Structure 1
């Protein structure tokens, strides 16, 4: 009972969502339904962010080059270095494909929608998050196959214009449409901030359910033994903890404020399942794809759950700081 007192309602809802996807994953016609619903929720999220952000905030976010540079370094330098070191070390006798899967995970670009949603939920710099996460995803379509070829000695993939178009259509177009609608709906959005916040949480829950359902449909619980599964979970948690800790340390060391620190943490610590699985189908033999993406699927679920809890903690900190500033004025 004490556990349920400690966990907030959103975290409990998140756990229930994971259990629901594990026992009742979306199947058949419901797969397309939930994928469409998730896409619509994400589009609405970006539309609202576009309507909520002023032109000045967007310009400031896009010009925040120091923040963007570190997010790119965290995604395409820090992660790959850790992946190479871990694959070289290979401390436990498990399938070599698991180590290769972790290396592949570390090469991938960051997520977009969940990074921005968590940044917004935590009270971070959403404008900078939109720019950093979107740039990471777009660059990753071209950089990740190059890194795979260099580090894993696999060739034959290149950036897909269809993937670029999909990212632009799902994320950038709603954001621009929302921002262009700001003169007409900006005041309404400002009056309903609490309701707008629910779109962040809803999109996160939908991403978790659809992603975990996909993992279950791929037979995630039957591909490896309990020992190997536990190994993947532990390594994923350690990897995530290392990257988040380094991001927090660098953000504070370089003098970023709290809202920018939040953005760096959530944009620089994630890996994209949506980009990773299609890319794996191109880069690797079909027979090995399932095992190759298993670390990615587990890491993806864990990063969502851990970052959801972390976002709520940041949210409380920013609310306390805002209240203290108000009381002092």
Structure 2
């Protein structure tokens, strides 16, 4: 373990890699996939219940009022990313095929993740209240902004429709548990203070469930076998470069806006992420009649890379926290 710590590799990152390997060999199918999906939803709801119980009402209200932070995160998600996606057109056809470029541009248009952005912010000891508001706001607005950007920037067949059930999912799976946590906070805050490990277990466990569920879906769809290995390697490289550019840009933007340490962590984690859970359902509606598997492949690869990279960053920042 001391040898691994020199390279900032710890048990959490190894756990993510192990879950990816498990999903590759034993992907969840049929009823098992349904069970994993429900377990993931329950874990995320429990996570937000704990966040609500752990945050004081004053901190939550302060998070709501921090509009400079939320505007910065939204600008990264819905301005910076789309610009980079449009610029990536130069990679066609030598590096990316038309379908893969469509997928790359689509990944740049989907909203930020909610659960993992907040979990990593919590692990890194950043501004959790600000992360909850920024990530949730990104997802709520993304239900409308992503289809609008797709229509504006991409040629798709069929009419893009917004499924209002996505809004209901966000409200009932994320916001309702959070407010319930706020209500029960006076009774459980002492317990959570004395026993911090359960919260950490839910943080990391929910991320591992998301990784397993997403990677299992890709294995079941067989999208990894639809392309040659070298094309997949090029796509992985493109996703790595895209994430590196965005991480550098969000870090620089946080400093330029003179945010404190906690807020800079929020900008990096919430502004650099893309939601697989939101992107996959949107893709099935927006790209009806198109090769969905290939179109969502860049998003799936980027999702795995961002989890592993941000896990390393979160652990590193946690060790250097004041």
Q: Is the 8 A contact 1:129 1:267 kept in 2?
A: yes
Q: Distance in 1 between matches of 2:260 and 2:252?
A: 12
The equivalent of 1:17 in structure 2 is 19
Q: Does 1:277 align with 2:261?
A: no
1:34 to 33, 36, 39: 36
Mean Cα deviation higher: 189-198 or 55-64:
189-198
The equivalent of 1:173 in structure 2 is 176
The equivalent of 1:63 in structure 2 is 65
Provide TM-score, normalisation by structure 2: 0.95
Q: CA deviation at 1:92?
A: 2.4
Mean Cα deviation higher: 74-83 or 254-263:
254-263
Q: Distance in 2 between matches of 1:235 and 1:89?
A: 9
Aligned pair in 2 of structure 1 residues 93, 247: CA closer, same or farther (>3 Å)? closer
The equivalent of 1:141 in structure 2 is 143
Q: Where do 5+ consecutive residues of structure 1 fail to align?
A: 322-329
Q: Is the 8 A contact 1:109 1:272 kept in 2?
A: yes
Q: Distance in 2 between matches of 1:91 and 1:120?
A: 41
The equivalent of 1:294 in structure 2 is 297
Q: Does 1:162 align with 2:165?
A: yes
The equivalent of 1:325 in structure 2 is none
The equivalent of 1:81 in structure 2 is 83
Number of equivalences: 319
Q: Is the 8 A contact 2:23 2:216 kept in 1?
A: yes
Q: Is the 8 A contact 1:142 1:158 kept in 2?
A: no
Question: Secondary structure of the residue that 1:107 maps to in structure 2?
Answer: coil
Q: Distance in 2 between matches of 1:115 and 1:158?
A: 27
Q: Where do 5+ consecutive residues of structure 2 fail to align?
A: none
Q: Within 5 Å, which residues of 2 pair with 1:229-240?
A: 229-240=232-243
Q: CA deviation at 1:153?
A: 3.2
Q: Distance in 1 between matches of 2:75 and 2:247?
A: 13
Q: What is the aligned-residue RMSD (CA, Å)?
A: 1.5
Q: CA deviation at 1:80?
A: 0.2
Question: Secondary structure of the residue that 2:224 maps to in structure 1?
Answer: coil
Q: Is the 8 A contact 2:95 2:231 kept in 1?
A: no
The equivalent of 2:123 in structure 1 is 121
Q: Distance in 1 between matches of 2:95 and 2:10?
A: 39
Q: CA deviation at 1:281?
A: 1.1
Mean Cα deviation higher: 133-142 or 3-12:
3-12
Q: Which deviations, in whole Å up to 9, do the C-alpha atoms of 1:129-150 show, x marking residues without a partner?
A: 1100001001001000000011
1:243 to 237, 241, 246: 246
Aligned pair in 2 of structure 1 residues 202, 105: CA closer, same or farther (>3 Å)? same
Q: Distance in 2 between matches of 1:234 and 1:89?
A: 12
Q: Distance in 2 between matches of 1:249 and 1:279?
A: 31
The equivalent of 2:51 in structure 1 is 49
